[in-house]
A and B are shown apart, each in its own frame.
Chain A
Amino acid sequence: MSVLLELRGLTKTFHGRRSASGPGVAVRALGGIDLSVASGEHLSIVGGSGCGKTTLARAVLGLTKPDSGAILFRGNKVDGETARLRDFRRQARMVFQDPFASLDPRFSVRAILQEALCLETPMKAAAREEKMRTVLRSVELAEDILGRYPHEFSGGERQRISLARALMTDPALLILDEAVSSVDVLAQQKILNLLARLQARLPVTYIFISHNLRAVRKISRKIAVMSHGRIVEYGAVADIFERPAHRYTRQLLRAALEYRCEESQDIESSNGTWRDIGGGHWVLSEE
């Protein structure tokens, strides 16, 4: 399988606002991320709040400028050159966490979907309309909602509209940032099933960012565990769930699946070396 997206040594540190009392606090959100995602892959990135998952997604899509490192899409660097960036923007789409915040309340569904086409070559009105209807069908929404506004929809429906917007340009890469965590469990299940069906039909690669380990276990094939801005463990779903190698992963799994948590085990996994413990299961070993 060819590599679709490759991240090399991505770092990002947020600096607090400097004040008269001294320099602000620096927070390291990404501490050197190396990751490659194969075409057609379904990768999940899991980790606790504040571990840098969202920063990673934003950095990939150019919303946050990384301090150093490179993003390669189909082997080409995407920063800088505009033609390549435009192509990347058409190919890589993101669905945000909050379905109530990611749709502009003043835009009708039609305007929302049309906006996604802004980089495409202009097409005829009829063709555009047909495209929108097709995409709405594919996310299992009625076709006659084009004239309606976001506040008329439930959270689950809005998330499908977001998904439809992301699918308008037939992207190769879809980043779903906690895309199901703010809707109820039934709607979650429906969207997860939908994502699985879509992937069966379209050549789309998912990066699924979540802290919902049950969902991750069900739908993804690979998992990357993040902690304190580093990826601490990477491997196939079964490997990670059956023999978690990193201390943080074990802690996370125990908390998620058995609702147990050991107190005072904050793991600072800033340094270490990568070790392959068999079958493409990598772990950052603590020295």
Chain B
Amino acid sequence: MILKVNRSTSELQLAWCRFLRNRRAVVCLWVLAVLYTGVLFADLIAPYSFRTEGRDMSYCPPTAVHFFHEGRPQAPFVYGVRLAFDQYHGRVYEIDRSRRYPLKFFAAGDEYRLFGMVPGRLRLFTVEKPGRIYLLGADSRGRDVFSRIVYGGQVSLTIGLVGVAISFTIGLLVGGVAGYFGGRLDDVLMRLCEMVMMVPGFYLLLALRAALPDNLTSLQVYCAIIVILSFIGWAGLARVIRGMCLSLRERDYVLVARTLGVSQGRIILTHILPHTVSYSIAAVMLSIPGYILGESALSMIGLGIQDPYASWGNMLSEAMSIVRIQFAPWIMWPAFFIFISIACFNVVGDALRDVLDPLVQGREDGDGR
């Protein structure tokens, strides 16, 4: 790609242009964009609410959407299903071809409050009652796995962002102050970091969660998980940022700023920390998976988000039994979404690190990935 420089470009804009040349990373960024847009408008996209149960449809397999009925093309519809027992007395769902339920787009469904404020009933697609559509199957209580994944993403995907925002703010400030001022303050802050880093992460998670009362509301649990994950996450970053600041504070433009009389806080914020951005952006991207996994792990063992609220982790707690996975493999779908989002964050993070690190810039100019 030829970069047209007909107006002034800053370093970050140049890096962005280099990033766009990495096709794999761009694809992953789009996947992430789709995922985040999806969970942002979960109320519109999910056909059912995360708590709409259908007890008679427990572990109903994924519903197929049909376009032909007896050889004739039709508007998309689903067949009704009927619970039956096979010769081993196992539960099976038989398709009942006599009952057809056409898909209704932009129709009224379960009630919701969009962004917690705007009340509405509009759903992207749904089927006429009593028919039900389970795109990715149903869980033990007959709740739609697809809807729950979309709603669960609201927790799983945002916990990473909010957690990273908090821990990086702490990490950048602690690292920046320790690195810029040095001396005794540096010693104290770095020993503190080491103490946090010394404790094995997952056990610290469990201990911190155990220290909190267990009768919290779902929102309180959400905040608690974020705080716990952030508490673990900041120390590693602070150490690296501190090391970078030690060298950055000797740069000429920092010295110039000091002779100009710029205050030290402002020097740290305008001349030091922005230069750690290339590292931080990549580190942010590469550390979000840790938060997603942390939330999943906590929720899966029952310490995180509680039923009926959905998160990818607590949906997987149903998949802890091998028998259930054999009987209803579709309850593993949340794991697929965890995998996809983590993989995308890693690819994007790697690509960002490549384009932002001045030392490797020459390298990837040659290959036309």
Contacts and interface: CB of A to CB of B under 8 A. Distances in A.
Contacts of B256: 94, 96, 102, 162, 165
Given A106-B274, A152-B8, A98 B260 contact: no
Given A58-B255, A94-B259, 8 more contacts: A63-B255, A93-B259, A104-B257, A106-B274, A116-B260, A118-B263, A119-B261, A149-B11
B259 A102 contact: no
A90 interface: yes
Contact of A106 (B252, B258, B275): B275
Contact of B253 (A101, A108, A118, A148): A101
A62 interface: yes
A118 B260 contact: yes
Interface residues of B, number: 22
Contacts of B275: 106
Interface residues of A, number: 32
B interface: dominant SS: helix
Interface in A43-74: 58, 61-63
Given A89-B260, A89-B261, A106 B255 contact: no
A218 interface: no
8 closest residue pairs by CB, A with B: A89-B261, A102-B252, A101-B252, A104-B253, A119-B261, A148-B8, A61-B259, A96-B252
13 contacts: A62-B259, A63-B255, A89-B259, A89-B260, A92-B259, A97-B252, A104-B253, A106-B10, A106-B12, A107-B253, A108-B8, A118-B266, A152-B8
B261 A86 contact: yes
A80 interface: no
A103 B261 contact: no
Nearest to A119: B261
A24 interface: no
A147 B8 contact: yes
A216 B334 CA distance: 73
Interface string B255-280: 11111111100100011001100000
Nearest to A152: B8
Nearest to A96: B252
Interface in B7-56: 8-12
A115 B258 CA distance: 11
Nearest to A101: B252
Nearest to A99: B252
B273 to A, nearest CB: 11
Nearest to A95: B256
Contacts of B274: 106
Nearest to B263: A118
A151 interface: yes
B91 interface: no
A105 B257 contact: no
Interface centre among B255, B260, B270 (most CB of A within 10 A): B260
Contacts of B97: none
Contacts of B255: 58, 63, 96, 102
B251 interface: yes
Contacts of A115: 257, 260, 262, 270
A119 B253 contact: no
Contacts of B271: 104
A190 B311 CA distance: 67
A105 B274 CA distance: 10
A207 to B, nearest CB: 13
Contacts of B270: 104, 115
Contacts of A106: 10-12, 274-275
A147 B262 CA distance: 21
B258 A63 contact: yes
A118 B262 contact: yes
B8 A105 contact: no
B269 to A, nearest CB: 12
Nearest to A105: B11
A101 B255 CA distance: 10
A14 to B, nearest CB: 14
Nearest to B358: A105
A107 B12 CA distance: 12
A61 B259 CA distance: 6
Contacts of B8: 108, 147-149, 152
